[in-house]
Amino acid sequence: MHLCALGCSGGIGGRLRTTCFRIDEDLLLDAGTGLGNLSLAEMRAIRHVFLTHSHLDHLAGLPLMLDSVFGELEEGLVLHALPETLEALRRHVFNWVIWPDFTRLPDPERPVLRFAPMRPGEALVLDGRRIRMIEVNHTVPAVAYCVESSTGRRLVYSGDTMTNDSLWEALNREPRIDVLVVECAFGNRDEALSRLAGHYCPRTLAEDLKKLRHDPEIYVTHLKPGAEERIFAELQALVPDRRLRCLCGDDRIRI
């Protein structure tokens, strides 16, 4: 199983792209502006998208991708997310005002986009990969995902979250965690803002990492543009015993 970071920034500017991770050739975790880095042929190969929540930086690429490959999709794309997230997309994106309703095009019986609600704790198996949804704490209903490969190795992607117990308790119940992709959006000087926005800063993430009994490779994502080096250095200083890496666009991780 391979993970490619199509986009992993907390914003845009220059070559920065917002959150979108491709697993193998056919599956996406979130669908931010990084989705635009795929070719048309690569977009047509995507069969499933798992959204963590309804914020624009995690889904902006999806409506544009559907429009770009609409006439060439042989089968519909399946969008997995919380019911609240799917309802937000139905009301505010695929509503014929912001964008066409691709859940009814070209035909309501055979649409190019199909909503598939999930709840925390539920899991799907797709071509030998098991994807499980985990509840996290954000300003809107939000989840993380644990993806287990056919060989039993596990990737966890936190999505957007802040101080919580649900994520870490779920991870500790797993027999192993090999790779953890976790957000840390703000620096310590913006801790108050990070709490208001529902994100980690180095100080709060370091406290929560103490709850984790596994020792995975940790890739830090969603850092605010222009502050990446400072945020990552603050986190390194607080958790010197963890295997930390700062995730960059186009990074590829074999799991």
Between CA 208 and CA 206 the distance in angstroms is 5
Give percent of the chain above pLDDT 90.
Answer: 96
d(CA 145, CA 123): 9
The pLDDT of residue 75 is 84
Please state the rounded mean pLDDT for residues 28-34. Answer: 98
**What percentage of the chain has pLDDT greater than the value 70?**
100
Measure the CA–CA gap between 253 and 189, rounded to whole angstroms. 31
Looking at the predicted structure, is the pLDDT value of residue 48 above 80? yes
CB contact at 8 A, 155 and 131: no
Reduced to 3 states, what is the DSSP secondary structure of residue 129?
Answer: strand
pLDDT-derived band at 72, boundaries 50, 70, 90: confident
- What pLDDT shows up at residue 170? 97
Q: What is the pLDDT of residue 134?
A: 98
Are 136 and 142 spatial neighbours (Cβ–Cβ below 8 Å)?
yes
Confidence of residue 3 (pLDDT cuts 50, 70, 90): very high
Q: What value does the mean pLDDT take over residues 127-151?
A: 97
Residue 139's domain spans which residues? 2-254
Across the range 142-160, mean pLDDT stands at 97
Q: Give the three-state DSSP class for 56.
A: helix
DSSP 95: S
Taking 80 as the threshold, does the pLDDT of residue 74 lie above it?
no
Distance between CA 159 and CA 148 in Å, rounded? 17
Contact 51, 31 (CB under 8 A): yes
Number of domains in the chain: 1
Residue 184 to residue 194: CA distance in whole angstroms: 9
Band of residue 73 on the pLDDT scale cut at 50, 70, 90: confident
Average pLDDT over every residue of 68-80: 89
DSSP label at 61?
Answer: H
Band of pLDDT at residue 57, cut at 50, 70 and 90 = very high
Q: Which two tokens stand for residue 50?
A: 């798992």
Structure tokens at 169: 């308790």
At 184 the pLDDT is 98
Query: Mean per-residue pLDDT for 235-251?
Result: 96
The CATH number given to whatever domain includes residue 236 is 3.60.15.10
Q: Each residue of 203-228: pLDDT tens digit?
A: 999 999 999 999 999 999 999 999 99
Please state whether beta strands 243-246 and 252-254 pair in parallel, antiparallel, or not at all (unpaired).
unpaired
**What rounded mean pLDDT belongs to the chain?**
97
